[in-house]
Amino acid sequence: MNSKILPSIMCVNWLNASFDLDQICEKVEYLHWDLVDGSFAPDFTMGSNIINTIRSKYQNKADFHFMVDEPSRLFTSFNFQENDRVYIQVECSKNLHRDVVMLRSMGVSPGVALSPATPLSTLDYILPEIDRVLILTVNPGYHSQPLVIQAVSKIRRLSKLLEEQSCKHVSIVADGHVNLKTIPQMFENGATEFVLGKSGLFKNNPSENLDATIALLTSLEDSA
């Protein structure tokens, strides 16, 4: 399967996190870490101590999503490892190019993330420097929000933009209310990576949900 599944760790059952993680970690390459500072987006999520502790047990590569103001001030807190990936919100960085170049120099794969109402024009002049764009299909902050349907058409427009600018190396990540019902339209519009949270993975039986998602994406790829 060429598509990537990125489990969102903020959505695990924190009263029994190891149960959820044991069910999925051997089946995925990356774990997705949402970092929320209570300023750019409401609520707070995980700090470096929690993340580094979990990473010491589970050897999956990391997919960091910084939803924090001026994210570069926190880059050195998270023990980045080879092949880790980092997205920064374009709305949060005063000097986006500088921060992307900094990430690359630290040995990680840089990407950027856009909130639902943020236009694709904010990607002007940065696409050649990044490896992926994360499209938030819900508003940043809390999990279990409804899909912002306009964000699906944004995925389609981004896919066309990447083709027009010869940036096919840049992959599109869908994040927010990603599940068996919404993945097909996201995939058909150009997304190839999918962040799974409460609605798509961490409910009832995570292992069965993950297997069903893998089967769906395999079928979509075979039909493409």
Q: Which residues are catalytic?
A: 34, 175
CA distance 195 to 101: 24
Written as six digits, the tokens of 33 are: 């870490």
Strands (DSSP E) found in the chain: 4-7, 30-36, 61-67, 85-89, 109-114, 132-136, 171-175, 193-196
Q: How many CA atoms lie within 13 A of 198 on its CB side?
A: 11
Strands (DSSP E) found in 37-170: 61-67, 85-89, 109-114, 132-136
Closest CA to 195 of 127, 137, 154: 137
